[in-house]
Amino acid sequence: MLSDQVVSNSFTGFVASTEPRLRQVLSAAYGSEAGREATADALAYGWEHWDRVRAMANPAGYLYAVGRDRARRAKRRRRPVFFPVESDRLPWVEPGLPDALSRLPERQRIVVMLLHCHQWTMSEVADVLGISKSTVQSYAERGMTRLRNRMGVEQ
């Protein structure tokens, strides 16, 4: 049986390596606050069941499913809300960008934000969504087209 300290250290390392990307994908799906809450809920679940979760082949993917479930139940299908643009900190970003992102269909939004806001690779996005890279490409193109249209940006 592992000591408490070993258990705690292994979970700490897991959180450190997993939390940022878990938060990015859940936030892209459900919004800034709801995504952060879902991430914390999912990690809390991971802590509660760490003996079982740590033995899984892909604990991070499992907690993504947990977070997605928690967020869906909490938020239903209301449109996500993203942090507004603070013009003094982001002078070159259109203030309408967060709202335009929130109006994209969920899959398109996740793909666009993971690829272009957080610089995930096409393969990483395909893995987390369980879809092919060609489908990711399709969502990305459709999402960017919608985003450009909504923001009045030329193709």
Partner 1 sequence: MSTDLLSQLAEYGAYHDARQGVASVEDVVRRSAPRESRRPPGPVIALAAAALVLVLFGTLALVISRSNESPVVEEPQALLESVESWQRVGGDVMEPIAGLLDVTVAGEQLVAVGNDAGEDGRPDGVILVSGDGFTWTRVAEDDEALTTGTVRMHAITEGGPGLVAVGGGCDDPDEPCPLRATVWTSVDGTAWTRIPYDIEVLGVASLMEDVEVTEHGIVAVGRNEAVSDEAFMIRPAVWISPDGIEWARTWDGEEMVRGQPTSDPPDTGAFVLSPMQAITVGPDGTLVAVGTVVDDSGVGVAAVWTSDDGQTWERVPHDPEVFGSSTGMDVVMLDVAAGASGLVAVGSERTHHGAGLWWMGGERPAVWTSPDGSVWERVTLDDETFGTTRSISTVAASPTGFVAAGPIFADSGLVTMWGSADGTAWQAVASFEGGYASSIIEAGPAMAVVGGVSHAAVWVGPQ
Residues 115-154 binding partner 1 (CB under 8 A) are 116-119, 124, 127-130, 139, 144, 147-148, 151, 153
Binding residue for partner 1, selected from 34, 112, 136, 140, defined by CB under 8 A: 112
Q: With respect to partner 1, which residue has the nearer C-beta, 73 or 133? A: 73
What sign for the dihedral angle of Cα 61, 62, 63, 67? positive
- According to the binding rule CB under 8 A, does residue 7 interact with partner 1? yes
Kindly state the smallest distance separating residue 16's Cβ from partner 1, in Å.
4
Q: Counting contacts by CB under 8 A, is residue 50 touching partner 1?
A: yes
Of the residues 34, 71, 108, 136, which one makes contact with partner 1 according to CB under 8 A: 108
Cβ proximity to partner 1, 105 vs 133, nearer residue: 105
Site string for partner 1, 56-95 (x = CB under 8 A): xxxxxxx-xxx-xxx--x--xxxxx-xx-xx--xx-xxx-
Q: Is 11 in the site for partner 1 (CB under 8 A)?
A: yes
- How far CA 113 is from CA of 53, 56, 97, 122, in Å, comes to 28, 28, 11, 12
Residue 104 CA from chain centroid, whole number: 15
DSSP state of 56: S
What's the min distance (Å) between Cβ of 120 and partner 1? 9
* CB closer to partner 1 out of 45 and 137: 45
Distance between CA 107 and CA 25 in Å, rounded? 11
Sign of CA dihedral 65, 71, 77, 82: negative
Half-sphere exposure of 50 (CA within 13 A, CB side): 16
Count of residues in contact with partner 1, rule CB under 8 A = 89
Where are the alpha helices (H) located in 1-155, listed in sequence order?
Answer: 4-30, 32-48, 50-53, 59-75, 97-102, 106-112, 122-129, 133-151
